[in-house]
Amino acid sequence: MVNTGTIIYEPGSSAKNKTGSWRVFKPVLDQDKCVKCENCYIFCPEGCIQEKDGKFEIDYDYCKGCLICEKECPVKAIKAEREEK
């Protein structure tokens, strides 16, 4: 399972480790309230928020639930919800 010396031979393989399971609270974006200011996209420290077809989407495979996006959203379009396990 682990290489000797925990060596990683393949560049970019960290994408295989989905870190979304670390989350306790989940940011949920209300698309109707969103004014597309890009603040959440700019402030996300993990690069989990991407623009797709004029809408912003959160990638829950990697979002660790820091909720910086919720704090930064000027129109309160992002709400924290407890993660259902």
Partner 1 sequence: MCEVKVITGTSAAAEAAKLADVDVIAAYPITPQTTCVEKLADFVANGELNAEYIKVESEHSAMSASIGASAAGARAFTATSSQGLALMHEVLFAAAGMRVPVVMMNANRALSAPINIWNDQQDSLSQRDTGWIQLYAEDNQEVLDLVIQAFKIAEDEKVLLPVMVNLDGFILTHTVEPVTLPKQENVLDFIGTYEPKHAYLDPKKPMTQGALGDPNYYMETRYAIETAMENAKKVIADVHDAFAEKFNRAYGNGLIESYNLEKAENVIVAMGSICGTIKDMIDLKKKEGVEIGLLKIRCYRPLPIEMIKDALKNAKNVAILDKSISLGMNKGAIYADVASHLKDKKTVNYIVGLGGRDITPEDILGIYDDVEISEDGKTNWIGLKEE
Q: Which residues of 26-37 are buried (b: 16+ CB within 10 A; e: fewer)?
A: bbebeeeeeeee
Q: What is the 3-state secondary structure (H, E, C) of 13-57?
A: HHHHCCCHHHCCEEEEECCCCCCCCCHHHHHCCCCCEEEECCEEE
The total of other beta-carbon atoms located within 10 Å of residue 69's CB is: 24
Pick the piece of the chain touching partner 1 (CB under 8 A) from 2-10, 28-36, 38-46, 74-82. 2-10
Q: Which of 4, 16, 45, 85 binds partner 1 (CB under 8 A)?
A: 4
Interacting positions 22-81 with partner 1 (CB under 8 A):
none
Pick the piece of the chain touching partner 1 (CB under 8 A) from 12-20, 23-31, 35-43, 58-66. 12-20
Pick the piece of the chain touching partner 1 (CB under 8 A) from 6-14, 28-36, 44-52, 74-82. 6-14
Q: Name the site residues for partner 1 (rule: CB under 8 A).
A: 1-9, 11, 14, 17, 19
